[in-house]
Amino acid sequence: MADTVTVPEASAAPGTKGLKSGALGVVAMIVIGVASTAPGYSIAASLGFVSDEVGFQAPAIMLVAFVPMLFIAAAYYYLNRADPDCGTTFSWVTRAMGPQLGWLGGWGIFIADLLVMPSLATIASSYTFLLVGADGLAADTFWVTALGVAFIVAMTWICYIGIELTERNQVVLLSLELFTLVLFTVAALWKVYVDSPAGSFDPSWSWINPFEIHSGTALAAGVLIALFIYWGWDTAVSVNEEAHDARRGPGLAAVLSTVVLVAIYVVVSIAATAFRGPGHLVDNADDVLSVLGREVLGTPWNKLLILSVLTSAAASTQTTILPTARTALSMGAHRALPESFARVSPKHLTPTVATVFFGAASCIWLVGLTILSENVLADSILALGFGIAFYYGITGIACVVYYRRQLLRSWKNFLMMGIVPLLGAVGLFWALAKSAVDLAKPENSESGDSWFGLGPPLVIGVGMLLLGIPIMIAWWVRRPEFFRRRLEVAPEEGEQVTVVAP
């Protein structure tokens, strides 16, 4: 008798949750994946700190940090091919490693997205004021927070109205962002080669050579900073049930999104480093693009870089809502959360309760942290790496476990379904461990405070992840049916597939 492979019942299966199928093509999903990482904001906020660690080799760090993300994107490709469920990590880890770890994988997505929302919303808010010349309001906590809440509400509404409106909004925002980054890069390199401004350096191939980095400690520190600027491309896969080709398109879009991102980060970091050198980037680490914009583009064209960071943060605010709402939708459909989270608007074909819930939670989180302390808000942003590394890493492990019976079928299977996802997971868990060691020291936090003898980012990051355990147990006691799901393995040719209740 053939082996049996169990899958969830049809009511929770991919394509049956009520989302608008066939609405997105590969290009649209690449746009969503790239926009989710907020490339303009990410490089503005991180390049100076990377340069502080590795100097002229900052572009090389962008390449090194790209590798584990590409490897995890491969895991997403293969897992999505087998199970194009909008719950992504939640659904895949549940199948491969059990419902308890699957539930915690979904919780990891929620925590990472919740922690980053205040940063994105406040950046979009403050840069809006800077764009219109209201520098005083940009430094006013009340008005920045108020406009940040307005941004979250507006982006929640767009996500609620429909996936096509979301797509069109992302195309506009990302186009403005990429145009400005390209303009900056071309202008900076033109001035370096033609005018040779004071403090400039001719680009060298050694800048993209990681073996030129002076020490392993500097390499590790630089990668740790750069690693998380790639985070967000997985949003391209979270809209898989709304794609034309649900099994192949989203995974391909995820892989291509990481390739687009590494190209952006490498060329922009080369241009910025060449124009004034790493020392200038370090001196203006809080926002290298706005400072360089005045020097490279002049006034008023430097406003374009302010607009680039603004549109980057605004786009990412919107695309952060997408995966979280769809993860909650999937968890509701599989009865891992209250079934109200599985509600979909009959008019807009988008998650209703899940979208509004996350938007409201983000507003409350932003206001609460701002009232508590701006330093705590900054520390919470440092903490988001724990959630990212956890759910990306566990997804890589799930790919290896789920496809374990197919790994020795061919060298391609062994490499792409086994070694590559495993190496990606190892790299991310290394980053998680390194972050834990570094952020355990109070002096490495934004506030410098000590919580229980540890740095606040570590307490917030790990504490928020661990908070999921009692919540999961409480739901397990109340509604145990989801937690009875059996482990699964990728079906092979000739196997019988049996549909069972989750």
- Structure confidence by residue, pLDDT tens digits, 264-298: 999 999 999 999 999 999 998 877 888 888 889 88
Decide: helix, strand or coil at residue 371. Answer: helix
Helix (H) or strand (E) holding 496: strand 496-499
CA distances from 371 to 64, 364, 367, 375, 398 (A): 38, 11, 6, 11, 40
Tell me whether residue 441 is in a domain: no
Cis peptide before 323 (omega within 30 of 0): no
Query: Mean pLDDT throughout 4-16?
Result: 55
Instruction: Give residue 285's identity as a one-letter amino acid code.
Output: A
pLDDT digits (tens, 9 = 90+) for 445-478: 777 788 888 988 899 989 999 999 999 999 999 9
Query: Mean pLDDT throughout 222-239?
Result: 86
Tell me whether residue 302 is in a domain: yes
Alpha-carbon span 211 to 198, nearest angstrom: 28
pLDDT digits (tens, 9 = 90+) for 39-79: 988 888 889 888 988 999 999 999 999 999 999 999 999 99
pLDDT digits (tens, 9 = 90+) for 401-443: 999 999 999 999 999 999 999 999 999 998 888 888 888 888 8
Terminal-residue alpha carbon distance, the chain = 24
Among all chains, which residue has been given the structure tokens 């680009």?
203
Residue 4 confidence (pLDDT) above 60: no
Contact 48, 369 (CB under 8 A): no
Burial class for 470, CB neighbours closer than 10 Å (0-12, 13-18, 19+):
exposed
Tell me whether residue 456 is in a domain: no
Query: Mean pLDDT throughout 237-255?
Result: 92
Per-residue model confidence (pLDDT) at position 11:
57
- The band of 305, judged by pLDDT with boundaries at 50, 70 and 90, is confident
Decide: helix, strand or coil at residue 251. Answer: helix
What domain range is 200 assigned to?
4-435+461-499
Query: Mean pLDDT throughout 289-313?
Result: 85
Per-residue model confidence (pLDDT) at position 493:
55
Alpha-carbon span 104 to 339, nearest angstrom: 18
- The band of 498, judged by pLDDT with boundaries at 50, 70 and 90, is very low
pLDDT digits (tens, 9 = 90+) for 159-187: 999 887 777 888 888 888 899 999 999 99
**How many Å is the Cα radius of gyration of the chain?**
22
pTM of the model: 0.90
CATH number at residue 323: 1.20.1740.10
| Angle between helix 249-283 and 26-36 (nearest 10) | 30
Instruction: Give residue 410's identity as a one-letter amino acid code.
Output: S
Among all chains, which residue has been given the structure tokens 């919580």?
451
Q: What torsion do the CA atoms of 108, 351, 253, 207 make, to the nearest 10 degrees? A: -50
Instruction: Give residue 112's identity as a one-letter amino acid code.
Output: A
pLDDT digits (tens, 9 = 90+) for 472-493: 999 999 999 999 999 999 877 5
Instruction: Give residue 126's identity as a one-letter amino acid code.
Output: S
Tell me whether residue 366 is in a domain: yes
- The band of 196, judged by pLDDT with boundaries at 50, 70 and 90, is confident
Tell me whether residue 171 is in a domain: yes
Q: What torsion do the CA atoms of 471, 474, 480, 484 make, to the nearest 10 degrees? A: 50
Tell me whether residue 444 is in a domain: no
Instruction: Give bridge partners of residue 498 from the DSSP assignment.
Output: 6
pLDDT digits (tens, 9 = 90+) for 325-365: 999 999 999 999 999 999 999 998 999 999 999 999 999 99
Per-residue model confidence (pLDDT) at position 300:
80
Closest CA to 33 of 223, 226, 264: 264
pLDDT digits (tens, 9 = 90+) for 90-135: 999 999 999 999 999 999 999 999 998 988 898 889 889 988 888 8
Residue 495 confidence (pLDDT) above 60: no
- Assigned token pair, 163: 């996936």
Per-residue model confidence (pLDDT) at position 77:
96
The percent of residues above 90 in pLDDT, for the chain, comes to 55
Q: Please tell me the number of Cα atoms within 13 Å of 398 on its side-chain side.
A: 33
Tell me whether residue 450 is in a domain: no
- The band of 8, judged by pLDDT with boundaries at 50, 70 and 90, is very low
Helix (H) or strand (E) holding 497: strand 496-499
Per-residue model confidence (pLDDT) at position 465:
94
Residue 497 confidence (pLDDT) above 70: no
Instruction: Quote the number of domains for the chain.
Output: 1
Per-residue model confidence (pLDDT) at position 10:
45
Contact 48, 285 (CB under 8 A): yes
